[in-house]
Amino acid sequence: MAVLVSGGAGYIGSHAARALRRSGYEVVLYDNLSTGFRRLAQGFELVEGDIADEAKLRPVLARVDAVMHFAAHAYVGESVGNPRKYFRNNVVEALSLLNSALDAGIRRFVFSSTCAVYGIPGQIPIKQVQITEQTPREPVNPYGASKLFFENALEAYRRAYGLRSVTLRYFNAAGADESAEIGELHDPETHLIPLALAASTATGRDLQVPELQIHGSDYPTPDGTCVRDYIHVSDLADAHVRALQYLERNGDERGDDSLAINLGTGRGHSVFEVIQTAESATGRPGPAQDRTAAPRRSPGSGGRSGEGSKSAGMDRPAQSHRHRFECVGVDAEKQIICKWQLRTATQELQTRGLFKLPITNHQLQILSSSAPTSRPAPRAAPSFRRSR
C-alpha cells in the first residue's frame, strides 16, 4: 500500500514516514517546506507543493491508497493574533486536500489532530483532569477551532461519501527517532524539552540560546509550574501506523468504523520536572536564580496545558518567569547533536521515564491487533484500551 504523508518534512510527519516504511508501506512525502525541512525528508520521495494545489496533487494521489495528514499551522498564540492564516491553511486548504483525495477514489484518511479541540482542561475539576474522547469539544482559540472544523468535515464526509478515517488527538510531542538521524526541529524552536536541553548543554552566547522562560509559577500544581502531557514522537508515529492498519482491516463501505482517539501517557510533567531532568541527564549546572515576578494566570486555569511553550506564553498576557541556565562550551560536533536534541540526553530522559511512557489512552486497543500478513508486522509498541 502506498501512503501520501502531507507535512512529511515536518517533525511528526517525518517520524511517521519512517514508521510507515519500517512497516512495509510505500511512502510519498508532500510538503511545501514552509515550516518543514528538506533534510527530514532525506531518503524519501518528496513532492514539493501546497495541499491546495489540485493540479500538483492529482498525479500523486492517483498512485497512493491512503492519506496521512499532518500539514497544518500549529502555534496557539499565533492563531489568536492571525486567525485568518490558521483558517486558511488548516481549514480551507485542508478541505481542498480532502476533496482531491476523495476525487481520486481514496477512502482511507488518517488525521493528525490535537487535544486543543477540547478547550481549557483547567475548567475540569482538578481531580478529574483526564480528558477522554467523550469530553465536550469546545476549543478556546482559532488553532483548536480550525482542527475541530476539519474533524467535523471528516464526520460529514463519512456520512455522505463513506470516507473512512481515524482522527488522533494529542498534546505535546517530544523526543527523537532512536536512530538519531532526525529529531525535533522547529524554526523558531518553542518547545520546552529541546530548549531545556539546548540551554543546559550549549554556550548560550555562542549558539544564541535564549533565556528559558517559565510562564507562571503560581499554578495549583505541586511545584507551581504548568503541568503538560508529553508523548514520545515515536509512540505517535506508531499510533498513526496502527490507525492506518485499522482502516485496512476494516472495510465498512459506510465509514461506520471511523474513529477519533486521544493519545497520551496518562501522566503529566511540570516545567520544573522537565528542567531538572534535563539538567540531570546532561550533567550540566542548574538554572541560576534570576527571576522576575510570577505572572497571574487566566481565570479557571488549573495548571495543565498542551501545545508547546510558545502557546503557553502567548495565551495569557503576563510577564515571564525566567530561569537562565549556566552553560558550558561544547565543540562543533556537539552543537550539531544539540540541534537534534542530544541523543544521549534524550535516551537518559527516556530511561528516567520523563517522556517515553506507555500510551495509556483507552480506545486504541482496536488498533493494536496483528497487522495484515502481507507486510512485516511493526515493531512492538504500547497497547491501547477502549475508553469507558
Report the DSSP beta bridge partners of residue 109: 67, 165
Kindly report whether the peptide bond that precedes residue 194 is cis, defined as omega within 30 degrees of 0. Answer: no
Measured distance CA(300)–CA(223) in Å, rounded: 18
Task: State the residue for C-alpha cell 496533487.
Answer: 57
Residue type, 122: G
Measured distance CA(255)–CA(259) in Å, rounded: 9
Instruction: For residue 114, give the nearest of 154, 172, 42, 71 by alpha carbon.
Output: 172
Report the DSSP beta bridge partners of residue 2: 26
Q: Is 354 helix (H, G, I), strand (E, B) or coil?
A: coil
143 is catalytic: yes
Do 237 and 360 contact (CB within 8 A), yes or no?
Answer: no
Ordered DSSP codes for 101-123 = HHHTT--EEEEE--GGGG--GGG
167 φψ region: left (φ > 0), alpha (ψ -120 to 50), beta (else):
beta
**281: its cell numbers:** 541527564
Of the listed 11, 143, 219, 230, which one is catalytic?
143
Kindly give, in sequence order, each residue whose CB lies less than 8 Å from that of residue 308, ignoring residues fewer than 6 positions away: 74, 75, 76, 172, 190, 191, 192
Task: State the residue for C-alpha cell 487535544.
Answer: 115
Measured distance CA(58)–CA(69) in Å, rounded: 16
Radius of gyration of the chain (CA): 20
Instruction: For residue 88, give the nearest of 55, 52, 121, 114 by alpha carbon.
Output: 52
Measured distance CA(99)–CA(363) in Å, rounded: 28
Measured distance CA(281)–CA(167) in Å, rounded: 34
Measured distance CA(135)–CA(143) in Å, rounded: 18
Catalytic annotation, residues? 143
